[in-house]
Amino acid sequence: MYSKFRIGESEMCSCNADIMNAEHLLHNCRLHDAPRQASWPEPLRVKLFGGLEDLQRTAAFVRAIGISI
């Protein structure tokens, strides 16, 4: 997200495991495991390209972890 939108101070996620991108944030970042499991266990494709309910859960997850885009 840093390279595209200049969000944050570097392209690395604060977990220091990978670069911050949609896949990492929504599906892999260990800092957000608990809220992710509480929100939805669906595959990344559903989180990004699912129906309205899926996208609403994705937006709720992003709000819950405090990321603003």
Question: Is 69 inside any structural domain?
Answer: no
DSSP class of residue 19 equals: B
Would you say residue 62 has pLDDT above 70?
yes
Q: How confident is the model at residue 37 (pLDDT cuts 50, 70, 90)?
A: confident
* Count of domains forming the chain: 1
Question: Is 38 inside any structural domain?
Answer: yes
Q: pTM of the prediction?
A: 0.71
Mean predicted confidence (pLDDT) in 3-12? 69
**CA distances for 14 relative to 45, 46, 67, angstroms:** 24, 25, 12
Between the two ends of the chain, the Cα-to-Cα distance in Å is 9
Would you say residue 5 has pLDDT above 70?
no
Question: Is 51 inside any structural domain?
Answer: yes
Find the helix or strand (DSSP H, E) in which 62 lies: helix 52-64
Domain encompassing residue 27: 2-64
